[in-house]
Amino acid sequence: MAYYVRMGQIPPKRHTQFRQPDGSLYKEELVSSKGFSGIYSNLYHIYNPNEVKSIGTPKPFHWEPAKEHGLNQTHLKTSGVETTGDDYLSARRMLMMNNDVMMGICAPKKRKMGYYFKNADGDELIYIHDGEGVLYSQFGKLEVKKGDYVVIPRTTIYRFEFAEEGPLRLLVIESHGPIETVKRYRNEVGQLLEHSPYCERDIRPPHEIHVEREKGDYLVQIKKQGFLHQYHYAHSPLDIVGWDGYLYPYALSIHDFEPITGRIHQPPPVHQTFQAWGFVICSFVPRLFDYHPLAIPAPYNHSNIDSDEVLYYAEGEFMSRKGIDRGSFTIHMGGLPHGPHPGTVEKSIGAKETKEYAVMLDTFRPLFITTDALEFVDKNYPMSWTE
């Protein structure tokens, strides 16, 4: 992130003595990116963060690409899925993947995690499609709600507690590289520029320190290289009395993204919300349509030569697509043209606005659906432009 946050108790000077009420030292931990060259935060523990009680047997936790699916425009009919598994990790079903990114859905039956999770492989972006709750991490308490993007830097130790009432549906994106704000919307010191579609005021870091002091048996499941490694500690990993820095989880609501419009149809980069290694994430939100007297609001046909394009349909009616429901995905592969379905171009002329919400992932290397995704494939979709 591009701005400094401090919470709780910290010493006046880093890497100096900071003592607990009983005279013992708090244990300082530097959490840093790119070795010591990227963004970082300093955390202050009651207990030693290296003190492991026991290590259990690793559990497999990975997905396989369905390479036999071939070059097909793809619709994954996931709109009717109510639950995808028992808890937050077993409910994850990653449906697309390459070496840079994975994307999938998570609709757990259990609303509270009975363990902590650390992703040591990549940054995570959790889009709260339905539901609300609290993210607890070393950095404190962060309330999240429907429409939030929740960005969780790698190695953050956390657990979710979601509200028991109402539907719960999450879109999960895991990135091999850091998930960042868009470079072209930042000035030379990292502040978001005046013409950015969102600013620091819209970004919500943890708002309250959350200290867990009690001893016991605390399980942290660590994702690394296709396994969940089972680490048990005699104290909670959330024993932090204070921290400061630039690295922390945060939330940004899709409802706070301000769309950029024009006289003629604007290309998808105006909707960009985040960047990462090998892909970008865009937000389609309610907006006025183009206002040239001869404008065509429907998007023009497009041939991707460098990227694969995924749309996750969140809310509203999508005027360029037929037969796509809330909670479904479309995947348009590089090498094939794609565009509006027949009849939707003429129908769009004269329309004044759209009230749709969608999350778009554009990758710059080929994206494969996983074997988990095969059951959701709409076999009629590749021929849907011939109606």
Residue 265 falls in the annotated catalytic set = yes
Residue type, 356: E
Tokens (6 digits) for 25: 């030292």
| Angstrom distance (rounded) from CA 159 to CA 137 | 7
Determine if residue 202 is labeled as part of a ligand binding site.
Answer: no
Catalytic residue among 265, 271, 292, 341: 265
> Which residues face 354 on adjacent strands?
287
Place of tokens 């065509």: 296
325 is in an annotated binding site: no
DSSP state of 318: -
| DSSP string for residues in 248-282 | --EEEEGGG------SSPPPGGGGEEEEETTEEEE
d(CA 91, CA 223): 15
Angle at 191 between CA 190 and CA 197, to 5 degrees: 120
DSSP at 373: G
Phi-psi region of 2 (alpha: psi -120 to 50; beta: other; left: phi over 0): alpha
Q: Is 302 annotated as a binding residue?
A: yes
Q: In 3D, which of 12, 8, 24 has the Cα closest to residue 209?
A: 8
CA angle in degrees (0–180, nearest 5) for 55-56-58: 115
Report d(CA 28, CA 10) in Å as an integer.
10
**CB distance 340 to 312 below 8 Å:** no
Question: Which residues are catalytically annotated?
Answer: 265
Which residue ranges are tagged as binding site? Answer: 302, 308, 338
Which residue ranges are tagged as binding site for homogentisate? Answer: 338
